[in-house]
Structure 1
Amino acid sequence: MFKKNKWLASIASAVLLVGVGFTTTMQLAPQMVQQDVKADSWINDYIDQNGIQPVPITYQEGTFSDWFGYENDVGKPEGVVVHETASPNTTAATFAQSFNNNWETLETYVHAFTDDTQTINIHNTDYGVWGAGPTANSKYIQIELCEVNTADKFARSVANDAFYIATMLHKYNLPVEYGTTVVTHDQTAQWWHETDHTDPTGYFAKWGYGMDQFMPLIQKYYDQIGNAGSTAAGTDTTNNAGSTAAGTDTTNNGGAAQGETGTVKVNNSSSFMVPLVSFDTAGNAKNANRGLANNTSWFTDQQKTYNGHTYYRVSTNEWVIDSAATYTAR
């Protein structure tokens, strides 16, 4: 368990035709302002000169069912591990489907994949995955960069990769720090000797690129997200709470959140999943566009009263209604 296997492209292609049903899909669009990257890198210069902007992050709930928190608790990652797939010309969509179909056999899973056209997040980043050995898995969000075959595609893919990492650091209020909040699989392998991988070092070098040039790109997007006022958390901040995922009236008569830890087991008799609700700054509920699989248990650290119901927090701003959850105090 907890080992990350690098598979051949033929394996990924062979499982492509096996379908998988996702619970939900959601996108977070980057809202960028122009800002030059100050780094000695022709790739970063190419991104600026050609006006390349990162693509929106697509959120698709995957099939990975080993829900475990980080060593500092659920929703408290320490940073992001940078991977690359070691499988030339295999897309993010292909990898996402392959992981969802085969993670139990392959004993590996990551939070996200990105290529030159798409970034797909397939697991809630409040929880860990199996990507870089037990120690790293208990600390970091993990994203795989897909190998491409042209310089233009490489530039676009690293822009997408950097934006995803910047988004996650913003989401969890972490700074941009190489070797602390942004680490490579190569580094984690050297530190803890739980895997033997060296990515993305060799693949970056193929394009005359390195982490010393990638870090300023992450910083660029991190600063732009902050300047644009983005939540970077993958939730819509527009107040469109005409209805909630639970179908309740959205008049705000809710109470403040209470800090009571425990677990909730969720079930929705009318669907295969339990919808989640988020709350805007005015305290109004709205559909979070995500759901939890039936008969799964989740850690909760806060409760909120809203329209006569108790809501239990299961991630940063995602809550489940009491009528679809059984709460057990710790």
Structure 2
Amino acid sequence: MDLERIRQEASDLRSQLAEVNEEKEQWFAKKQEVSDKIVQLITAIKQEKQKRNSLTDVVKIDKEEREKLNAIIKQKIEEIRKFQEEHKGVLSAPKRKGDRKESPSFLQEQIDKLETRIETEAISFDTEKKLRKTIKDMKKRYDSVKGATGAFSDMRRLNHEIKEAKAAAEVVHRRVQEKAKASQDIHDRVLEMSKGIDPLREEEKTILKKCAELKRKAASITAALRDKQESQGELRKEADKKKAEVRKEKARHEEAILKDKEVAVEEKIKKKQKLTTEDLLVFQSQALNLEKAASKGKRNEEERASQQQSADAEKKEAMDEEEKAESSDGKSN
């Protein structure tokens, strides 16, 4: 029967639609999983970049500090060069190591003694003249020795300052190298992590294509199911119409026969003839027909209501399937 065949085909389409929707949900779950991986990877890359940038900023500051220290070192070296040029004579004079008589303190002590002698002792003019000449020579030696001592002291100070600046610059330089290496390591790690994004995006595209394919398939099945349901409704109406016509024809035929019998019975009654059992049954049938007519009207109403409920149920089922498909499509998108 066509109606039964279409009903079965509609049932098969519903099963197919349910399978397609389930498969589409599975693919969407895979797509979501891949998308989450991409987001997590991008977040991790951003965090690594922030670390790298922070280290880069520190390296920049340290480099500036190192440049300042190198500038100080260069300046101190230039000061030493100029100082050596200005005090060439003093610095190049040979030093007699351990000779106390050449120390500024010893010379000053001797000068003081000679001056005291001149002031306190009664000496001859020639002796005083010799002593004053000696004092004059000692003062020259004192100035020379004192200048050399100061020059060497300044040289030691400058060399010490250069040494300290170089040590500080070396500390900063090592720090720059360590931070720069750490920054480079993070940068290399970021590049390696970035390589993982493209394959995931390609996988995501493949999954989206599959979801789109299943979406089209679901839409096609839904359209076919809708057509089947419409055909099913039309065939049901046609079948109901034929059944109604058959019932009407049968009722007309039975009514005609009964009418003839009723006329015959009425003739017998008029002629006061004896009624048979069949005649009595005709009277009963007449009463039953009245009851049937009333019952038939009620039954027809109930049948129409049942058919409407069945049609409404099928329509709701189809709408539920469509809503489920649309909901699944919305998630896939």
Q: What TM-score does the superposition give when structure 2 sets the normalisation length?
A: 0.16
> Based on CA coordinates, which of the two structures has the bigger radius of gyration?
2
Higher relative contact order (CA 8 A, sep 6+): 2
Higher helix share: 2
Higher strand share: 1
